[in-house]
Amino acid sequence: MTSVENTYTGFNSVLSILPLVTVIKRMVDEDKPGAKKLYQDLLTEIEAQPELLQPSINKEMLHRHEAVVEALLATIFPPSVSSNQGMYAITFPFSSETIYASPSFKRYFLKDGTAINVSDRRTTVDIAKASLSLAYNVILRKLYAASMPLTATSVHAFPDEENNLTTYYELNLNAEFVDVECINKEFKLPAGFSPYRTLE
């Protein structure tokens, strides 16, 4: 088994639940009765823990508030996915370290602790490439208003040495709740830059 390494060590990536909380608060503030009934108590509980609303939180904070954090993260996945034993997980941004995962995902991909593991090096590299491409999509869209998708889909082979069969899984990466911040305000994209051509 090989661990899916961080996409790129140059990314200063931190975990924050603020983007998700902001989206849920917006739904409640739009006076949608269903959203308010479903999420208001959860938001109240989260807002009662100021450290959870910091720009970045660490593993210790997650463990201290495990129940409320899991309740918040569970809102991302519809009941239909959960009831059908779907495989899904939430990681630190563009990292292999998970903070929330379904039972089936844990069984297949979290063999040692909370880091995602796959059976061969090629799959590891392919997943890292897909994640890196999505990371650049997020940067281009949120900082430069480029029309780039915040999701990415790819198919990966997972050989099973015990029965000599290969299983193919579709991987869906979603960065809708990822924010980026520019640390060099003077940087400008080159004239004539085309993200579609450059990132292919």
Mean pLDDT (the chain, rounded):
82
What mean pLDDT comes out for the span 164-169? 84
The residue to which tokens 């989260």 are assigned: 46
What pLDDT does residue 67 have? Answer: 92
What mean pLDDT comes out for the span 85-99? 86
What pLDDT does residue 114 have? Answer: 86
pTM reported for the whole predicted model: 0.79
In this model, does residue 84 exceed pLDDT 70? Answer: no
* C-alpha–C-alpha distance, residues 113 and 3, integer Å: 11
Beta-carbon contacts of 72 under 8 Å, excluding residues fewer than 6 positions away, are 17, 20, 21, 24, 42, 46
What pLDDT does residue 78 have? Answer: 73
* C-alpha–C-alpha distance, residues 133 and 169, integer Å: 19
User: Quick one: what percent of the chain has pLDDT higher than 70?
Assistant: 88
Q: How confident is the model at residue 4 (pLDDT cuts 50, 70, 90)?
A: low
Every domain of the chain and the residues it spans: 2-198
* C-alpha–C-alpha distance, residues 129 and 142, integer Å: 20
What pLDDT does residue 81 have? Answer: 62
